[in-house]
Amino acid sequence: MATVYGKFKVLIDGSAQVEASQISVEYAPGRNAVDTIEKGRAGYTEGAKVLTVSGTSAVPAAGLEFDFFKASEAGEEHAVQVVLGNKVIKLKATFMNIGAGMSANASGEVTWQCEGPGTKESVS
């Protein structure tokens, strides 16, 4: 029997981003190695935990379903959720890097990236 695979879904402020064509999630636990002359790798220090969600979305003729440029300029936090099968990643994120492009025989696309703190409550 074949395995059925699910799709990632991304929601911003509760609205599904149906034009998304690519989604990625990165988690940086913020651990920094501590090396000493005598011990070599002596251990780690804890730092800021950061979740980064990146994506690419097609741009319909009517316009973007979420104004990534406005969100980035405002620097406000937005509720971002990424559904990964039976896991949901939740974060209060700030949109950081936004871009747009188009090529022949392809739709216009916007690329976006948002970041927020990674907490125990981030993954359910």
* Choices 2.60.120, 1.10.8, 1.10.357, 2.40.30: CATH for 9-122: 2.40.30
* Confidence at residue 120, expressed as pLDDT on a 0 to 100 scale: 60
Residue 95 CB coordination number (10 Å): 25
Phi, psi (deg, nearest 5) at residue 39? -95, -20
Which residues does the chain have with pLDDT short of 70? 119-124
Locus of tokens 């039976």: 86
pTM metric for this prediction: 0.82
Write the CB contacts of 2 (distance below 8 Å, at least 6 apart in sequence): none
- The answer to whether the beta carbons of residues 36 and 14 sit under 8 Å apart is no
Domain boundaries along the sequence of the chain = 9-122
* Confidence at residue 124, expressed as pLDDT on a 0 to 100 scale: 65
* Confidence at residue 44, expressed as pLDDT on a 0 to 100 scale: 87
* Confidence at residue 122, expressed as pLDDT on a 0 to 100 scale: 65
* Confidence at residue 79, expressed as pLDDT on a 0 to 100 scale: 95
* Confidence at residue 3, expressed as pLDDT on a 0 to 100 scale: 84
